[in-house]
Structure 1
Amino acid sequence: MSPNTFLKKARRERGLTQVHLAEKLHVAVQTVSSWERGERAPQPGVRKRLCEILGKSPEELGLPPLDGGSLHASTQQDHVPLTVVLSTAEEDRVLPEGASERVRDVASVQEEEQPRAVRRNIFAYAYEDVNRQRMLTRVHERWIKGVFEESLYRLTLLVVPLQERPDLLEDPWQEVFQKSPLPSHSLPPGTRITQVYDQADGELLILGEPGSGKTTLLLELARHEIARARHYERYPLPIYFNLASWAERQLPLEKWLVEEINTKYRISPKLAQIWIEAEQIALLLDGLDDVTPEYRTACIQEINTYRQKYGLAPVVVCCRSADYMAQPARLALNKAVVVNALTTEQIDEFVALAGQDLAILRLALQRDAALREMASTPLMLNTLAIAYQGVPMEEVLTDGSFHIQRNRIFAKYVERLIERGGATTKTYTSVHIKQYLTWLARHLQVRNQTEFYIERLQPDWLENNREQHHYQRTVIRLVTSIQCIVGGALAAWLKGGLKNGVVGSGNGILGLFGGGTGNSMLGWMAPGIGGGSQGGASLILILSIVIWLVSILVGSPSLPTLTLRAIWHGLRTGLRTGLKFGLIISPFSIALFTALGGLMHGISYGLGIGFFLAMLIGLLSGLGDGLRHQQEEPPEKVSFKDRLVDGLIFGTGGGLSFAIVELLLQVNHQSTIIYSFIAALFYFLAFGFGGGTRLFASLGKTIQPAETVAWSWKQMAQDMGNTIKKSLLVALVTLVSVGVIIAGITSLFFADPAYGLHYGLVFGTISGLIVGIAGMLTSMLQSGWSSDILADDQHTIPNEGIARSGRNALIGACIFAPIGGIASGLATGIGFGLLGQLSTWPVMAKAFAVMIAVVLFVIFTIAHGGIAWIEHYTLRWYLWKWNRIPRNYVDFLNCVTNLALMRNVGGGYMFTHRLLLEYFAQLAPSQDGRSVSALSENKELGAYQELSAY
């Protein structure tokens, strides 16, 4: 037997050693040790004391249940208990009276397979199969502790009357024997759903009206079956599924189950498939009525197809009666039961137990037949009890249609819960609580969701295209502003104390690594490209090229495959863009430098700076379009107004960051103003009108958090060949493009082709190598570094996913940015040392290593998880601005949870009942003023008006 890890873990959580626990239980230390080794199980008397000391149920400690086999210590109502007799000296087995043949078969098969000498008690936990125990624990924690035990009417769990309906099922023998369906009949009072399940041999359909307790019965059954599965080594695993998500893609049920087990319970698809094929999963399928009507029949047919393939696997389905009967298909199961209305005796007994608090309600129920009908389900009976506790008779008696009455009751119920909240609701008024819950309920209903996780908010929760446009532009501006600010700061840091384009005071990054002052460290490259752009300005030019191209690569969904058509497209785009912006920038530059040093100085420097900025924009735009060509959808058209606002934002950000760094470096103020304005103009045009906002194509469309991350060396190795090939091609295209353009322009200014070719070769090589390295790292990251969202059952803290996404983004950036920086520094050293033949290449290499590492850190953080963080909180800000949610959403959701309007499920929230969700959803007005649910369910037009007046 494998160790009882559950018991061992619980002991350690209490801070107890085996010695301390043995002393508390008055047993030997060896006895406690044998329990944890799985060799023995404690006697019932000791087991009870053990549960009290460790504060857990027997199931949670990996032990048989208490009280002679009842499946839960607090529940004595199961009529078919698993009578467990465990002895440390004997290995007796007692099967329950009336247990299904399936249970007996499992027992007999296991007895035959195990030799007598090593045979263990069949009721002992299957410690050997850790995966089974983990699965059972996840279902129990999620649905039994998280939902069933916290349900709205958990304190008054009524034994609802059941009626068997054979006519609601598909009978495969109908055509053979031409027999009439068996008549429906009521089951004996007090019949438990577990008894019906056993009699149906695990094949059951549960129908009922809204609020009748169908889901509660299903979860009660799940709790019972979890306990059985813990004791029977080969007993099917009961797993809860909600069919609402099936309608999204209408997959074959088997494939959908594998995906649900993987995403919801974090079990590998391979293991899930093994369990399914071995018929080791008992499907507890809730929410068939949540499947949209047009797909409901197809869903039933999928369930029947699954049953044909896995006929011995237990299947239980829950649905509202009207929704099931409204479609033609029938489920092929053994039994169907309908949850009947509570009897008058049950209602009277329930109300009588409350004494004087519900005396008026009891009298009203006797007088008002309509109210008595409303109270015929457990949910509405509890709702009435809370809503009308101690109110006058005239407020209890009702009139109007059923839906109007029910809405009135829920309105009173909500008000009463809010009033009871007292201090809890000081932060939020009753109006705000209803407003926020109405918005949330409507969106959950539209999406067929029952659980809400804050991190699952998406842009499509916004009301219309106008709101989505505002949100998307804001996200784009935030992300691109970060890019411009970083670029401007790095350019100023590299420029240092430039004066008239020459490296000057040594306060910049080159001076930090020993470059000294002046332009001597650039050697023969000191004249620069020409036209006023001397060596220092040329370095800024190459840095800008690299930053832009690295941003394009890292922000792309995959490394592009370049074609001749893409390259030609990029060249045309770049040439056209460069000429256009050259005509715009040059006049401004000439005017600025004329004011600084006279007309000739203005023409020389202004024309050169303006021309090269335009060339830079054209080059980057062309290369960017070439790299993106054929790999993403055509960019959305951006209006002139948006372009103008974008340009002003980005220009201001880039220019200010440039100026601030220069001031910190104590650069001449006049020079700072001129070059800051030039930087602002560059970012204004490049990112406002030159296509810079398309660096991340999917910004603001879908939030994709990186809540969990994993690294796969195997996958990276498999993709390495294709990665190297693509990276070399991108590097070659960049090298040639940058080298040819810079060589051509340099030769034009200096009339020296040899100088120009040499200059272009150095900068082209540096650009190509750094971009190739960035592409290589990006591709490695995308193939080896995988990210995903957390399974619902793994959420323990509200909004945990977004926090994890931000943290994982920083981790990934901390790993890859230094690698990219070092590799880029080496590439710079190759360019300046081997090709440029400069003795100061180590200084250049160190400086570019630091700057590229900073660039990669920022871009990797944004592209691989940081964007999700920005998008999420931007969306939250807009929803708060438009009065859809409160500023502190977690605090609000905890508040309404304390009011019992919602309940916490791990790190998520759900309404305490679907009827309550529907009540709030129908309060949301549609475009024509009517409530959403009134339109969707064809209710009376006056329902909403009466409710509003109430």
Structure 2
Amino acid sequence: MEQNQDIGDSSLQNSEVQQTQANRDAVSFQNSQANQVTINNIILRMFSNPQPPQVNWEWGQRLLKEKQLPDIRQRLTDTLGKQRIAMSVSYAEQLSWVSRSLQINGQDYGTIDANKLLIEIFERDDINGKLLILGAPGAGKTTALLGLAEQLVWGALQNPKTVIPVLFELSTWRDDNQSIEQWLIEQLYELHGGKPKYKIYEGWLEQRVLLPLLDGLDELGLERQKKCTIKLNEFARHYPHVVVCCRIKEFEAVNLKLNNLRGAVCLQPLSDLQIQDYLHSLNSSKLWSVIEGNPNLINLLNPTSENEPGLLRVPLFIKLVVDVYDPQQPISNKADLLEKYIDRQLSRDTREQERRQNKEGGKWAYKTVEDEPAWQQTRSTLSWIAKRLQDNNTVELLIEQMQPTWIESQHLRRRYRLIGGLIFGLIFGLIVGLIVGLIVGLIFGLIVGLIVGLIFGLIEGLIEEQGQEEIFLVEAFQISISRVARREFLVDLIIGLIGGLIVGLIFGLIIGLIFGLIFGLIFGLNFGLIFGLIFGLNLGLIGGLIFRLKEELKVRSQPNQGIWNSLQSMLWTTALSYPLGVIGIMAVLVARRVAEKHDWLDLPGILLRNSPQYFFPGLFVALFFGFWLGGGAACVQHFCLRLVLWQSGAIPWNLAQFLNYCVERRLLLRVGGRYRFLHRELLDHFANSGTAHLR
């Protein structure tokens, strides 16, 4: 074992050890009592300080149990297979990329014990919870991080009120001036929900109980990676625990140290013995003899001209070779290997064979092989998705988070705005027409309302408003009856009533002036102000209710769940708004009678006799609030977006079915309602392979 130490420079070069127990990091450790004890002891040693009561530990435990641990284990299973077979890897310490003294109390920490879990390296006195994980593309960095995350999350669940480890994707750091603290808080709210007014996540950071596990630093691009590295150094200077994962080539290119991390490990290329052991575990030992006897394959064991590891010494690619190797089709480079893997997974023979071998009788995305999308359509759609993910600096796809900015061409964006504008104009015109119809006659009111609505929708659709197209979901209701919740509900209700009153009076004054031109100024103002007063109070009441009740649900168990939740929220909002909608229609009738100088004593009888006139229109008023406050608008926008993308040939109409098919083909991975490519290398390959012409 070679070591070259320079204590004065705080560096240790090429201290390489065989981490023959690396399987223990990626493979479930629960069957090992010794590993469980080790993890529990580490959690208690590192995080057992008395924790302040203001930390919301209940929310943290729910997040770990319901989201983090299931997601981590699903991703490990998808990466390693149901048996979670991992290959042993070698770690080399790369302390030149971090900054710390190598000796503490005279002890040398230059070597890694081959029998240690990664969490034990993370705990070492000299590293003390500040670790950098490096490696070549496909070397297993993310798998190592997931293995460490599984150990930390499991230990945190076994030992409540100690630490809250959470995975983050640094590719979503989009604001160069944003601190890591602000970004973490933003991501926690965006990914896991909660109300910002309670400052749950701010408390986690202030009390140092959040343990950020940061993947994907290399996905930012060199310039932004450099800026992010500076921000990470600022964060790690005062924060006690953090793990960062990055490709070594991109990290070296930036030429900036993470000075405030204390340890760095780099996953090394596989040795001949490690490759043979892995092939043996898959009953593919003969493939090694084939490699040794094939000059082409031997060449793939050697480093590339860019000093990258040989293709067959990278775990991801040796796995793919096991799947696709054919003596009649030699493999010459990475792109060639990925192409052969894609072709194999999409070939009809492979698809039919897998259906025959499906002894468990699982449900397929498409009923028959004939129903499955064509080879070219699959490639084209995956290329389009990969490009959109790259453009948005993300590695995960949620169908409901697709935005109009994903539409590439100007004429398609105009088509999207026009369709959306006409639909919204039609809905708005129908509702306004019914209300106006109570005053001037139903037929005339509907004609006027629809004409005005369609003109408004046409104008709205033709005018491009930058930054105004984002689709905002309203996903669920969360009703609380605690004393604090009741007090906050009352405050929101009062604010809503006051705001509604002001808006209603202004709106009523405008309506009154318009009607005054037709029926006389006195009648118009009386009608407008009374209508505005009653309708505005109802608007405020509904707004106060919805503002207090709506709360985004962040657990994604099904594809496109956010849109279905928004549709459900629209129905709830409509139901809650209906009684108030009826009252609003009654306000029109009352305002009209008062403006006509009817006796107030006659109003109860008039309202009773005319009840059929406001029960049905009240439904449309309720639908109006359901669309604009309850999530209906998001559903319409999403429908228009999907329609335009489908018409252009970018995606199939049933996108969830297509994505599930790609999961079956092992091109994508799925966790709940989230999809990601099998590996970042595959995402990059699809993104660079071009897309079909869009109509």
TM-score computed with the length of structure 1 as normaliser: 0.59
Q: Which amino acid aligns with 1:299?
A: C
- Which segment is superposed worse, 367-376 or 886-895? 367-376
Q: Structure 1 pair 913/184, CA: closer, same or farther in 2 (3 Å)? A: farther
What's 1:899 paired with?
665
From 228, 241, 248, the equivalent of 2:155 is 228
Q: 2: distance between equivalents of 1:183 and 1:445?
A: 43
Q: 2: distance between equivalents of 1:324 and 1:343?
A: 24
Q: Structure 1 pair 484/688, CA: closer, same or farther in 2 (3 Å)? A: closer
What's 2:120 paired with?
195
From 614, 621, 625, the equivalent of 1:849 is 614
Q: Structure 1 pair 279/436, CA: closer, same or farther in 2 (3 Å)? A: same
Q: Structure 1 pair 842/351, CA: closer, same or farther in 2 (3 Å)? A: closer
Do structure 1's residue 432 and structure 2's residue 377 form an aligned pair?
Answer: yes
- Which segment is superposed worse, 697-706 or 252-261? 697-706
What's 2:336 paired with?
408
What's 2:227 paired with?
298
Q: Any conservation in 2 of the 1:731–1:772 contact (CA below 8 Å)? A: yes
Q: Structure 1 pair 266/378, CA: closer, same or farther in 2 (3 Å)? A: same
Q: Which amino acid aligns with 2:120?
A: Q
Aligned positions, number: 614
Give the deviation of 1:795 after TM superposition.
Answer: 0.9
Give the deviation of 1:728 after TM superposition.
Answer: 2.7
Q: Deviations over 1:114-172 (max 9, x none)?
A: xxxxxxxxxxxxxx95334223214533432231232256733112111101111145x
Q: What is the correspondence of 1:140-539 to structure 2 with a 5 Å cutoff?
A: 140-152=68-80, 155-171=84-100, 187=112, 192-199=117-124, 200-248=127-175, 250-267=177-194, 269=196, 270-310=199-239, 313-331=240-258, 332-353=260-281, 354-355=283-284, 358=287, 361-363=290-292, 368-372=297-301, 373-388=310-325, 391-392=326-327, 394-398=328-332, 405-419=333-347, 420-422=350-352, 425-426=369-370, 427-484=372-429, 538-539=440-441
Q: Structure 1 pair 538/486, CA: closer, same or farther in 2 (3 Å)? A: closer
Q: Deviations over 1:633-676 (max 9, x none)?
A: xxxxxxxxxxxxxxxxxxxxx6xxxxxxxxxxxxxxxxxxxxxx
Q: Structure 1 pair 369/691, CA: closer, same or farther in 2 (3 Å)? A: closer
Do structure 1's residue 708 and structure 2's residue 635 form an aligned pair?
Answer: no
Q: 2: distance between equivalents of 1:714 and 1:489?
A: 33
What's 2:3 paired with?
none
Q: Any conservation in 2 of the 1:904–1:910 contact (CA below 8 Å)? A: yes
Q: Any conservation in 2 of the 1:236–1:282 contact (CA below 8 Å)? A: yes
2:205 partner SS: helix
Q: 1: distance between equivalents of 2:64 and 2:265?
A: 26
Q: Structure 1 pair 359/212, CA: closer, same or farther in 2 (3 Å)? A: closer
Q: 1: distance between equivalents of 2:28 and 2:221?
A: 38
Do structure 1's residue 913 and structure 2's residue 688 form an aligned pair?
Answer: no
Give the deviation of 1:204 after TM superposition.
Answer: 0.6
Q: 2: distance between equivalents of 1:210 and 1:824?
A: 64
Q: Deviations over 1:43-95 (max 9, x none)?
A: xxxxxxxxxxxxxxxxxxxxxxxxxxx999953899983537xxxxxxxxx98
Q: 1: distance between equivalents of 2:449 and 2:492?
A: 39
Q: 1: distance between equivalents of 2:435 and 2:160?
A: 64
From 621, 624, 628, the equivalent of 1:863 is 628
Give the deviation of 1:418 after TM superposition.
Answer: 2.3
Greater Rg by CA: 1
Q: 2: distance between equivalents of 1:538 and 1:383?
A: 73
Q: Which amino acid aligns with 1:715?
A: D
Q: 1: distance between equivalents of 2:25 and 2:505?
A: 65
Q: Any conservation in 2 of the 1:364–1:396 contact (CA below 8 Å)? A: no
Give the deviation of 1:294 after TM superposition.
Answer: 2.4
Q: Structure 1 pair 234/683, CA: closer, same or farther in 2 (3 Å)? A: closer
Q: Which amino acid aligns with 1:315?
A: V
Q: Any conservation in 2 of the 1:710–1:785 contact (CA below 8 Å)? A: no
1:146 partner SS: helix
Give the deviation of 1:335 after TM superposition.
Answer: 0.7
Structure 2 unmatched runs, 5+:
1-23, 302-309, 356-363, 480-488
- Which segment is superposed worse, 853-862 or 186-195? 186-195
Q: Which amino acid aligns with 2:518?
A: I
1 or 2 for the larger relative contact order (CA 8 Å, sep ≥6)? 2
Q: Structure 1 pair 78/276, CA: closer, same or farther in 2 (3 Å)? A: farther
Q: Structure 1 pair 307/816, CA: closer, same or farther in 2 (3 Å)? A: same
Q: Structure 1 pair 717/407, CA: closer, same or farther in 2 (3 Å)? A: same
1:346 partner SS: helix
2:313 partner SS: coil
Q: Structure 1 pair 863/721, CA: closer, same or farther in 2 (3 Å)? A: closer
1:284 partner SS: strand
From 735, 738, 742, the equivalent of 2:518 is 742
From 5, 19, 35, the equivalent of 1:81 is 35
Q: 2: distance between equivalents of 1:806 and 1:323?
A: 43
CA-based RMSD of the aligned residues comes to: 3.8
- Which segment is superposed worse, 72-81 or 410-419? 72-81
Q: Which amino acid aligns with 1:253?
A: I
1:903 partner SS: strand
Q: Any conservation in 2 of the 1:472–1:700 contact (CA below 8 Å)? A: no
1:273 partner SS: helix
Q: 2: distance between equivalents of 1:73 and 1:442?
A: 32
TM-score computed with the length of structure 2 as normaliser: 0.78
Give the deviation of 1:688 after TM superposition.
Answer: 5.5
Q: 2: distance between equivalents of 1:365 and 1:218?
A: 35
2:573 partner SS: helix
Structure 1 unmatched runs, 5+:
1-69, 85-93, 114-127, 399-404, 495-536, 545-653, 655-678, 745-759, 928-950
Q: Which amino acid aligns with 2:236?
A: R
Q: 1: distance between equivalents of 2:37 and 2:109?
A: 32
Q: Any conservation in 1 of the 2:426–2:453 contact (CA below 8 Å)? A: no
Q: 2: distance between equivalents of 1:74 and 1:414?
A: 29
Q: 1: distance between equivalents of 2:300 and 2:191?
A: 40
Q: Deviations over 1:884-914 (max 9, x none)?
A: 1112111111111111111111112111111
Q: Which amino acid aligns with 2:35?
A: P
What's 2:20 paired with?
none
Give the deviation of 1:710 after TM superposition.
Answer: 5.2
Q: Which amino acid aligns with 2:490?
A: W
Q: Deviations over 1:262-293 (max 9, x none)?
A: 22223555222222222212221111112233
Q: Which amino acid aligns with 2:539?
A: T
Q: 2: distance between equivalents of 1:284 and 1:704?
A: 28
What's 2:501 paired with?
724
1:395 partner SS: coil
Give the deviation of 1:334 after TM superposition.
Answer: 0.9
Q: 2: distance between equivalents of 1:268 and 1:717?
A: 20
Q: Structure 1 pair 71/165, CA: closer, same or farther in 2 (3 Å)? A: closer
Q: Structure 1 pair 283/842, CA: closer, same or farther in 2 (3 Å)? A: closer
What's 2:4 paired with?
none
Q: Structure 1 pair 491/835, CA: closer, same or farther in 2 (3 Å)? A: closer
Q: What is the correspondence of 1:625-636 to structure 2 with a 5 Å cutoff?
A: none
Q: Structure 1 pair 255/279, CA: closer, same or farther in 2 (3 Å)? A: same
